[in-house]
Structure 1
Amino acid sequence: MPILPPRLDDRSFDDLLDDLLARIPAHTPEWTNPRLGDPGRTLLELFAWLGDALLYRANLIPERQRLVFLKLLGQGLRPAQPARGIVGLAFAQPTELAGATLAAGARIKAPVPFETLSETTVLPVTAEAYYKRPLPEADRLRMAEVLSGLQRVHGIADEVSGYLSTALFEGGQAAGAGVDVFADSVDRALWLALLAPVAAQPERQPAANAAARAALGGGDSGAAALLSVGVVPAIAAPALFEEIGPRARVPVLWEVVTAAANGLDADYLTVEPLPGDAYDTTAGLTRPGVLRLPMPDESLIFAPVNDVGENPRAGVADNPPRIDDAERAARLVGWLRLRPRPGSGVGSLRLSWVGVNAVEVDQRVTIAGRVIGASTGAADQVFQLPAGSVDPASLVLQVEAPGRGYQPWTRVDDLAAISADPAVAREAPAFELDAEAGIVRFGDGVRGRVPERQMRIRLASGRFGGGRAGNLPPGSLAEVSGATLVGAARPMPAIKAWQPLATEGGEDAETLARAEQRIPAQLRHRERAVTAEDYRRLAAETPGTDVGRVEVLPRFKPRERRPDVPGVVSVMVLPARVPGKAPNPRPDRPFIERVHAHLSARTPLATELYVIGCEYVPLGISVAVAIRDGFAREAVLYEVGEALRRLLWPLPPGGQAGAGWPLGRDVRERELEVEVSRVAGVAEVAGLNLFGRATVDGRDRWSLLTRATADGTQTLELAAWQLPELLSVVAVDDAGGTAGAPADLSAVPNPFAGDTAVAVPVVPEVC
């Protein structure tokens, strides 16, 4: 997108020619007919054309100066950010009964290209999640005799707790609010049933189960198979003014069911996720990610029989939940259990989705092994990569060396700052990268080595892409369109993908106009948060985050609601949202964590930083208006409600100044009446009432605010960190001017109901 700077001289060819022709009578009065085709007229046109070309070049100076100024600041355009997500993989054909390990970079078919971020093993099993849901109180009382009988049958001395085997995430669907698999289950555990593919004929199902169990245990390879488990915690919105920081890892145990000594009950083998961030991206179940579990030998993987005729203890005590579906039970090859680590005190774990054969993906593509040019031996050579918006961490660039082949060169942020030693700086094999444009620049022989003449420059590998187009809804990623198998000499099997949650985080590349707007702010804060404006601008520039509003509260400690605390800075952030009805926009935990991480790296060392949401105060409004003749009643009442919502909306263009309702400003009755009176069709405001939320008889109800002011008007008082949240608006037509605004939001009469008739239900006759 081009920058549109002011023109130094806006005269065009026609303007210059007209000016020259107008000067003829003053300078050459004897030339009375400067007609078209006249030699003198032709010379004037030639001069005007040359002048127009010079003015065009002169007008390029402001644009070039801005671009050069950005380069001098070291602030190139910000590259696009990729959307990220988690997908589950499975073989498209149930006849595939051997595992397949896919190298990182497997392509996922989608409207925009996605690739897997790590190596993953696709095993011929699927997983279904279950938990032992306790019986509701009514059912428990009704089945008291049955439970007592079961207690005697199984010889259980302790109290019996009945449960229902309840499936989670059916069909691969995620549960948005999540399920607390520890607190809501009788045994504080989540169970994953590992199922083999459906065999072509029922009599072949045992053979398919054996093959799937062998693949799950590593088979004859001699190495443990790695089961990739995707986990998406249901990250709750932070409590009001909750202090944001790194979340503590959840101490849990992953266990595989093996056979007990009696051959019927279950025993357990603990499996620990492979150590390292590359193998456990969930950071201890605190964020969405994938962990890889090394499975035991197939001889140790066991699933108790679900038929109570063969196994009376199916689902009893510490055994896995009983599956009564015969088709699923016939395909069961093993169980995986997730429970709290003993002695950890963990009593809650809310999950939105769990699945196996999972892998993380992002909206980028890998380009490798491509020659991008040959060196001319000149200084400051520039080469264009195959695409823009490159991931700097993934870029590997190689330069050909005489007699040694391609050699890797190092990316640096600034060639001028390679080293204070001139000899080191002169010989450093380094290059600069403009990630957004996809351009690499080499040194001049003083600041960085110059590639030798006629030596080729090759892109060994790099990942390119990103943008908002990658923010896709669930189910958009369907299959693997290209992948490389690791250590397997067989054709690539067809693999389908399932995307349980939306991909998010994609952001388009920065435009020149946005970069130009950053110049004044960059000169002021230099990526350091010192003044309130610095905090405001830096928070609004958090990558991959749509920040709708930022307020800075210096010296305010949020959890204690205490002002004037030295060294404390609280930054209130709200996500961008299209103006609409309640509820008002609230930041979730990942949103606040991204802003906090962006700001904390730029704040002074002694600053105590808090990134918080907003404390909203509920507000209800009733208003009565008289409507002018010629205006539709319902349309006017609707516009009255919308006018009040726009005025009290916390984001732009809400509020009287268009920046959202001011933080901590009281809501006054007279101010709202003025806003209502401006609505087209309102002849008079016949009354307006304000309501707050109050607890009456243990229930949360609307309560009319008192009129304690000197003029008898109502005011909703707000603290310096509060904003109003308009939850209810009732607008009525008071044509006679006698009824006034309703005094009870919970009992507003229906204007369409009859005065004498009472509505009652009737039972229709059915033939």
Structure 2
Amino acid sequence: MTLPPPRLDDLTWADMTAAVRRRIPAESDGLWTLHAPVDPGVTLLELFAYLLEQRLYWLDQVPDALVVALLRLLGLEPPRPARPAATVLRLTARQDGVPVPVVPAGTPLTRDPAGHTVFTLDDDVAVFPLADGADVTVWTDRDRTADLAARRGVPLLAADGAPAAVRFTLPLSGAHPAPGPLSLLFELDRTAGPAAAWLPGAVDDVPPPAELAWSWFRPGTALHGPFARVEDGTAGLRRSGIVRLHPPADWTTRDCGVLLSTPAATHTAPPRLLQLAVNASAARHLRWLTASGADLRDQTAAWLKLPGQELLLPDAAGQLVEARVRIGGEEWRPAPDLAFGGPADRVFVLDRDRGAVVFGDGLTGRIPRPGRDVSVAYAVGGGRGGNGGMTANWVPAEEAPAALTAANVVRAEGGTDPETVAEARRRAAASLGEVTRAVTADDHVALALTTPGVAVARAHAALGEHPGFPCAHVPGAVTVHVVPAAPRDDPDREDFVAAPVPDPGTLCAVAARLEAARLLTAEVFVRAPRYRDVELRADLSGAPADRARVSALLTGALRRHLDPLVGGDDGEGWPFGGPLRPSALLRAAQRALGDLADVHAVAVGLDGAVPDESCRDVPLRPGELPVLRAVHTRIVPAVEPGEGLA
């Protein structure tokens, strides 16, 4: 039950004056006899009641500054500023076949003629010349170029723990040396993975799922070698990101082959590649400007040694996102608010609506001294206006190091407007219910499911289970079994993983999160689920017209019913340790077949054993999940009603 919020402003002027008049005879010992409004004493009482009513009204109001201060005291974020949208731009040089100098980070590009929507590159980009009409080729066990062009998802590095490799041939032209690193966008299927590296909320400190090695080769020759340095924004193909490959000194664009290999492919499922783009860089909906000297002299000349100093920045009203301020050669730092600033703290806050930098009042934040040189580097942009689809009409917003065009090869997303104080209060109220300590079994599950940077679909906390003492109940020990997310769109795909197992990086990330949240005397272990191989035999009565179709429908339905991620009666995965009941399996099979055939019985076999026809439940231990390996169908004579009765 939710408690109603207290209301302090619950007395009116009439209530207070009536209460005071009732007390006059007793408090005055009967000497005060005239209680009408014409009495000067009553007039004073009415005045005091009026003033008290105003004070009560003020007391019941919570100013925004107090809300922000309380959020900071609780360790929560104050109202979040506007967030810029992010995308990935693929750059192309207009001089065909000629490499261009490195395009530096911070170069602005726009997608509209008026230049209202400007995105700025996050990294330096070496724009390599590309062959006309050529595509990136992909070779795994066979040529997958057509699948990549159609965005069907090319499975890379089969997730079986064995060595694996994949070859890419980039459409580079000529024989030019490398002006900089190769910047390659690897867009992976995100249906069951963490956020892309360029989006807000991306986590960079998660161990990779597998150890990857990157090397180059020259197609058609035996020339090959390692890259001098690799910056892997995909975190080991865990998420979409940009890989920056630094070629050695003797490399040329003829060496356009890239070999990606691993000694042990320990991914949960083969990463599905949707797109590989060359000359790519992340870009954000920002544009950096500078104001100094004459731009601000009129304002700074009017400053006094008094509170309320501010700087209105040119072309920043309604768009201000970030700012860096230097006054008299000293750096001033931005702050979310001035409530916690001291008299000597060089801090300022941003007023996005007015496009202003606001300084303190001498008590909460230092007052800037007039007459000093002031320079401000500030960014404009941000907000939902930067979100949008994919276009190919990007051009430099100002003078660029070369004649460039660009296209954003992924959607621009993640841009948000500034958060209001009311929205921050609602967010703070919701965050108070978040689990931060691992006390109960449900706490362990909640923390495992919300581990940043990895995709955990299910978790089960087995209390008293200790890996070192498998046959005993150990007080204080908790083993958390985690099932990672894996694609479930098509069970007939070659890269479908029936029994998802967490990669080593996921186990380490979940273990680190639980280690920081566990009780002092608790031992917490993180393990993969234990899968038990299941073999079923279904007896069908009658004579189905299409036995192959019936068998396929039956196998698909039972496999989905026992699936660790989408199985069970509720479709949220087979319950950990849930027994295999032949009667429940029979119902699921009959529901899938409908009128095609009648299911007479279902027998269950575990771990290669012959299916048991006794119709008894087959138990599983806590932390165990079934994985269906085979379904055998058998046609038995139909049983007529009343048959076998004496």
> How high is the TM-score relative to the length of structure 2?
0.56
- Counterpart Cα distance in 1 of 2:568 and 2:366: 51
Matched-pair contact (CA < 8 Å) for 1:367–1:464: no
Paired residue for 1:190?
A: 167
Query: Would you say 1:365 and 2:342 are equivalent positions?
Result: no
- Counterpart Cα distance in 2 of 1:130 and 1:695: 42
- Counterpart Cα distance in 2 of 1:609 and 1:83: 39
Paired residue for 2:71?
A: 70
Task: Name the % identity.
Answer: 22
- Counterpart Cα distance in 2 of 1:426 and 1:563: 62
Note closer, same or farther for the CA distance 1:194–1:89 as it changes in structure 2 (3 Å cut).
same
Note closer, same or farther for the CA distance 1:114–1:70 as it changes in structure 2 (3 Å cut).
same
Which AA in structure 2 matches 1:336?
A: C
**Residues 451-470 of structure 1: pairs in structure 2 closer than 5 A:** 451-452=368-369, 460-461=377-378, 465=382
Which AA in structure 2 matches 1:429?
A: R
Query: Would you say 1:493 and 2:498 are equivalent positions?
Result: no
**Residues 630-669 of structure 1: pairs in structure 2 closer than 5 A:** 664=577, 666=579
Say which SS state the counterpart of residue 426 (structure 2) adopts. helix
Say which SS state the counterpart of residue 8 (structure 1) adopts. coil
What are the superposed Cα offsets for residues 288-334 of structure 1, whole Å, 9 maximum, x if unpaired? 4321334767xx85xxxxxxxxxxxxxxxxxxxxxxxxxxxxxxx73
Say which SS state the counterpart of residue 77 (structure 2) adopts. coil
Q: What is the CA-CA distance between 1:118 and the residue it aligns to?
A: 0.9
Task: Choose which of 170, 175, 198 in structure 1 pairs with 2:153.
Answer: 175
Say which SS state the counterpart of residue 513 (structure 1) adopts. helix
Task: Choose which of 116, 122, 140 in structure 2 pairs with 1:117.
Answer: 122
- Counterpart Cα distance in 2 of 1:454 and 1:596: 56
- Counterpart Cα distance in 2 of 1:588 and 1:477: 37
Query: Would you say 1:254 and 2:253 are equivalent positions?
Result: no
Say which SS state the counterpart of residue 223 (structure 2) adopts. strand
Say which SS state the counterpart of residue 325 (structure 2) adopts. strand
Note closer, same or farther for the CA distance 1:593–1:355 as it changes in structure 2 (3 Å cut).
farther
- Counterpart Cα distance in 1 of 2:16 and 2:511: 60
Query: Would you say 1:291 and 2:292 are equivalent positions?
Result: no
Matched-pair contact (CA < 8 Å) for 1:429–1:449: yes
What are the superposed Cα offsets for residues 204-231 of structure 1, whole Å, 9 maximum, x if unpaired? xxxxxxxxx26x336xxxxx45432344
Q: What is the CA-CA distance between 1:120 and the residue it aligns to?
A: 0.7
**Residues 585-734 of structure 1: pairs in structure 2 closer than 5 A:** 599=514, 664=577, 666=579, 692=604, 706-707=614-615, 715=617, 717-722=619-624
Paired residue for 2:182?
A: 227
Query: Would you say 1:400 and 2:302 are equivalent positions?
Result: no
Note closer, same or farther for the CA distance 1:520–1:12 as it changes in structure 2 (3 Å cut).
same
- Counterpart Cα distance in 2 of 1:457 and 1:562: 72
What are the superposed Cα offsets for residues 669-700 of structure 1, whole Å, 9 maximum, x if unpaired? 9999999xxxxxxxxxx999776565779xxx
Paired residue for 2:233?
A: 281
Note closer, same or farther for the CA distance 1:450–1:706 as it changes in structure 2 (3 Å cut).
farther
Which AA in structure 1 matches 2:74?
A: L
Q: What is the CA-CA distance between 1:125 and the residue it aligns to?
A: 0.9
Which AA in structure 2 matches 1:122?
A: V
Q: What is the CA-CA distance between 1:8 and the residue it aligns to?
A: 1.7
Which AA in structure 2 matches 1:101?
A: V
Paired residue for 2:427?
A: 514
Note closer, same or farther for the CA distance 1:556–1:704 as it changes in structure 2 (3 Å cut).
same
Matched-pair contact (CA < 8 Å) for 2:582–2:617: yes
Note closer, same or farther for the CA distance 1:182–1:663 as it changes in structure 2 (3 Å cut).
closer
Query: Would you say 1:476 and 2:390 are equivalent positions?
Result: yes
Paired residue for 1:157?
A: none
What are the superposed Cα offsets for residues 702-740 of structure 1, whole Å, 9 maximum, x if unpaired? x57744xxxxxx545343224689999xxxxxxxxxxxx
Paired residue for 2:227?
A: 272
- Counterpart Cα distance in 2 of 1:544 and 1:59: 42
Paired residue for 1:8?
A: 7
What are the superposed Cα offsets for residues 220-276 of structure 1, whole Å, 9 maximum, x if unpaired? xxxx454323446899999xxxxx95456423432346xxxxxxx84526462446x
Paired residue for 1:103?
A: 104
- Counterpart Cα distance in 1 of 2:577 and 2:568: 16
Paired residue for 1:336?
A: 256
Note closer, same or farther for the CA distance 1:184–1:581 as it changes in structure 2 (3 Å cut).
closer
Matched-pair contact (CA < 8 Å) for 1:129–1:193: yes
What are the superposed Cα offsets for residues 87-136 of structure 1, whole Å, 9 maximum, x if unpaired? 54435x685744253333444759998654211122221564446777xx
What are the superposed Cα offsets for residues 44-63 of structure 1, whole Å, 9 maximum, x if unpaired? xx999999977765543599
- Counterpart Cα distance in 1 of 2:159 and 2:458: 36
Matched-pair contact (CA < 8 Å) for 2:216–2:255: no
- Counterpart Cα distance in 1 of 2:356 and 2:521: 39
What are the superposed Cα offsets for residues 433-461 of structure 1, whole Å, 9 maximum, x if unpaired? 999xx999866767864433697987524
- Counterpart Cα distance in 2 of 1:387 and 1:176: 46
Say which SS state the counterpart of residue 102 (structure 2) adopts. strand
Which AA in structure 1 matches 2:233?
A: T
- Counterpart Cα distance in 2 of 1:290 and 1:408: 34
Paired residue for 1:429?
A: 346
Note closer, same or farther for the CA distance 1:49–1:383 as it changes in structure 2 (3 Å cut).
farther
What are the ranges of 5 or more consecutive residues in structure 1 without an aligned counterpart?
A: 22-45, 135-163, 197-212, 219-223, 239-243, 258-264, 302-332, 419-424, 623-640, 676-685, 708-713, 729-743, 752-767
- Counterpart Cα distance in 2 of 1:600 and 1:463: 41
Which AA in structure 2 matches 1:123?
A: F
- Counterpart Cα distance in 2 of 1:63 and 1:652: 48
- Counterpart Cα distance in 2 of 1:530 and 1:389: 45
Note closer, same or farther for the CA distance 1:545–1:266 as it changes in structure 2 (3 Å cut).
closer
Task: Choose which of 151, 174, 177 in structure 2 pairs with 1:217.
Answer: 177
Matched-pair contact (CA < 8 Å) for 2:89–2:283: no
Matched-pair contact (CA < 8 Å) for 2:386–2:412: no
Note closer, same or farther for the CA distance 1:649–1:4 as it changes in structure 2 (3 Å cut).
farther
Matched-pair contact (CA < 8 Å) for 2:185–2:243: yes
Note closer, same or farther for the CA distance 1:377–1:356 as it changes in structure 2 (3 Å cut).
same
Matched-pair contact (CA < 8 Å) for 2:460–2:482: yes
- Counterpart Cα distance in 1 of 2:529 and 2:284: 33
Q: What is the CA-CA distance between 1:76 and the residue it aligns to?
A: 1.9
What are the ranges of 5 or more consecutive residues in structure 2 without an aligned counterpart?
A: 19-46, 194-205, 492-496, 539-556, 589-597, 639-646
Say which SS state the counterpart of residue 76 (structure 1) adopts. coil
Matched-pair contact (CA < 8 Å) for 2:390–2:407: no
Note closer, same or farther for the CA distance 1:705–1:369 as it changes in structure 2 (3 Å cut).
farther
- Counterpart Cα distance in 2 of 1:266 and 1:599: 51
